[in-house]
Amino acid sequence: MNDQKSEFVRGRGMNDQKSEFVRGSGMNDQWIEFAIRIQSIAQAGLQYGKDPYDRERYEELRQIAAEMLSLKTDIPTGKIFDLFCNESGYQTPKVDTRAAVFADGKILLVHENNGTWSLPGGWCDVDQSVASNTEKEVQEEAGFTVKSERIIAIQDWRKHNVTNYAYGVLKVFVLCQYESGEFEKNIETTEIGFFGKAELPTELAVEKCTKEQILMCFDSYENPDMATLFD
């Protein structure tokens, strides 16, 4: 991505069929922060506002937010509106779950199709709990059946990860126990590997998990009484 401006790119998101916006290196770009906030206010107003004139103003605010992002990214306003302004109801953070699975003191990482490595995980589906979603993602990406044991940390994406979505994301890291299974070829990952602290690959999917977050999982695994971390 261009280091000189924040860009939104359409992709598969972290694990599913949704089209997502990823914010690049300009995480502190106030223009984009304003657009995100305006969209959030407009969405809440459309959900709870009753006066037709107010609702018209909220629709206009939503359109302005999309146009602001379009000016910053050179992506057509219509496409941004479809992807960025497509929800209803009060806007809340999305939840992303990440599994920490250990074997012989080494942690499981999955190799993404784009060549980077990450902890298995993805968006928490609407019909899943944190535990069940974590287990499901490991099954889909690594072929393993695991059991969620405890939450390592709950982190605000904006405070820990290199890139960001155009909305809030809470990342939940879950320590899991391996039960059975082996890797099976799938559409999301090409291989798996177990890595020690000193063996972590340099090509990490830092929008999903950073080296610091992986080492945090090691700390929790090695210290069973360690309290859950949260922002």
Q: Are 43 and 167 in contact (CB under 8 A)?
A: no
Domains of the chain: which residue ranges?
8-84, 94-230
| Residue 167 CB neighbour total at 10 angstroms | 18
Per-10-residue mean pLDDT for the chain, 231 residues long? 34 37 48 84 87 90 88 80 74 91 98 96 93 97 97 93 74 98 92 97 95 98 96 92
d(CA 37, CA 128): 28
pLDDT at 43: 86
* The model scores a pTM over 0.75: no
Q: Which residue has the tokens 């391996």?
A: 178
What CATH architecture does domain 94-230 belong to?
Alpha-Beta Complex (3.90)
Q: What pLDDT is recorded for position 24? A: 41
CB-CB contact of 116 with 205 (8 Å) = yes
pLDDT digits (tens, 9 = 90+) for 90-110: 778 889 999 999 999 999 999
